[in-house]
Amino acid sequence: MPGRIMVGVDGSAPSNAALGWAADDAARTGAELRIVHALDRQPYSVGRFPDFGQWNYLLMAASRVLEAAEAAARERQPSVPVHAEVVEGTPAAVVQEQARQADELVIGNRGLGGFAGALLGSVTTQVAGQVRCPVVVVRADPPERVGEVGVGIDDSDVCGPAIGYAFEQADRRGARLRLIHAWQLPVHAFAPEIAFDVDEVRAAQRAVIRTRTAGWRERYPGVDLVEDVQSAHPVEALTGAPCDLLVVGSRGRGAFGSLLLGSVSRGVLHHARCPVAVVRPAEDAGGREPRAAVRESR
């Protein structure tokens, strides 16, 4: 179970939606809600000129954003313990550092400083690729609820923590869990005449789902499951499913921000209309099941 859910706020519509999502999830899980606003003085710092009280104005503005967020969270979920704080630094650095103490991070898909037509802000892309805890990215206008959580499943060990997170979310919400596995027939450039038994391939792909989810089915027997096997690109299969939440794993490879996400998780973050949770394997878990779910099963 998450002990602390952190949400980054800046007063934008996506961050307000993220705040609501985080408060609701904290109420479902019994977690503490920590609201953080990053106060970045760098754009206003000019070394050759005196401050003239600008810092005080920045502090006042930050305090107003934080107070509004805290009031909204308490009104939405009065039973949730809330801690709110202004932290000085660039938004990406503040969120990454503060998320070290969180069990889940919730952020808007873009903040006040983003370009009008951008689907994802630079902070969101960087944070989602580098933070170790699950990161939930929320848009300003999520679709109406349908009572379903979706999770992407492949034949690698990387998706294990994502599957566990999805089962837990579905169980807490009383939602159906859609197990989404996309496959594409290989194309042999030098032997295009090779034929495949599509029914046999589809059966093999369903076996992948059942193998990957066997342990979680035992832990959460009350979760209603739908096996969704599609011959499609993974991003297309995932974003085409009507869900309240999409959960994807991330391979966690690469040296720079968004490269840590992997092409599928990046594509889902760009194209999904519903909130998306990116769940990376814990550093000491080696791709095994998340510790929160293991504790609950004991």
pLDDT of 78 strictly over 80: yes
pLDDT score of 214 more than 70: yes
Q: Contact, 149 vs 244, CB < 8 A?
A: yes
Angle made by CA atoms 111, 115, 116, in degrees to the nearest 5: 95
From its phi and psi, is residue 147 left (phi > 0), alpha (psi between -120 and 50) or beta? left
Report the distance separating Cα 110 and Cα 116, nearest Å: 9
Q: Which residue reads 């660039």 in tokens?
A: 90
**In the predicted model, is pLDDT for residue 62 greater than 80?**
yes
What's the pTM? 0.82
Query: How confident is the model over 110-169, as pLDDT tens digits?
Result: 765 543 334 456 677 778 777 889 999 999 987 889 999 999 998 877 789 999 999 999
Task: Please give the mean pLDDT across all residues of the chain.
Answer: 81
% of residues, the chain, pLDDT over 90:
51
Helix, strand, coil in percent for the chain, rounding step 5: 45, 20, 40
Q: Which of 19-23, 74-78, 136-140, 286-290 has the lowest mean pLDDT?
A: 286-290
pLDDT value at residue 58: 82
For residue 115, what are the CA distances in angstroms to 67, 105, 118, 126? Answer: 26, 23, 5, 16
pLDDT of 259 over the 70 cut: no
pLDDT level of residue 27 (50, 70, 90 thresholds): very high
* Residue 82 confidence (pLDDT) above 90: yes
79-111 b/e with 16+ CB inside 10 Å = b? ebebebebbebebbbbbbebbeebbbbbbbbbb
Detail the DSSP E strand segments found in 98-160.
104-108, 135-138, 148-152
Q: For the chain, give the percent of residues with pLDDT over 70.
A: 75
What pLDDT sits at residue 197?
A: 57
C-alpha–C-alpha distance, residues 41 and 85, integer Å: 16
pLDDT computed for residue 186 by the predictor = 57
pLDDT mean over 36-40: 90
> How open is the CA angle 83-87-90, to the nearest 5 degrees?
135
266 pLDDT higher than 60: yes
Contact 31, 153 (CB under 8 A): no
Which amino acid, 246? L
Find where tokens 């993220």 sit: 18
Q: Are strands 82-88 and 148-152 parallel, antiparallel or unpaired?
A: unpaired
Query: Could you give the angle at the alpha carbon of 228 between the alpha carbons of 289 and 266, nearest 5°?
Result: 65
Reported as a single tens digit per residue, the pLDDT across 268-298 is 998 899 999 999 876 533 333 443 443 333 2
Mean pLDDT confidence for 181-189: 65
84-118 pLDDT, tens digit each: 999 998 888 899 999 999 999 999 987 655 433 34
- Both tokens of residue 245? 């939440």
Query: What pLDDT shows up at residue 253?
Result: 43
Tens of pLDDT, residue by residue over 3-12, are 999 999 999 9
20 or 158, greater pLDDT: 20
- Beta bridge mates, 87: 38
Domains and CATH numbers, the chain: 4-138 (3.40.50.620), 148-297 (3.40.50.12370)
Average the pLDDT over 59-87 and give the result.
95
Question: What is residue 125's predicted lDDT score, i.e. its pLDDT?
Answer: 75
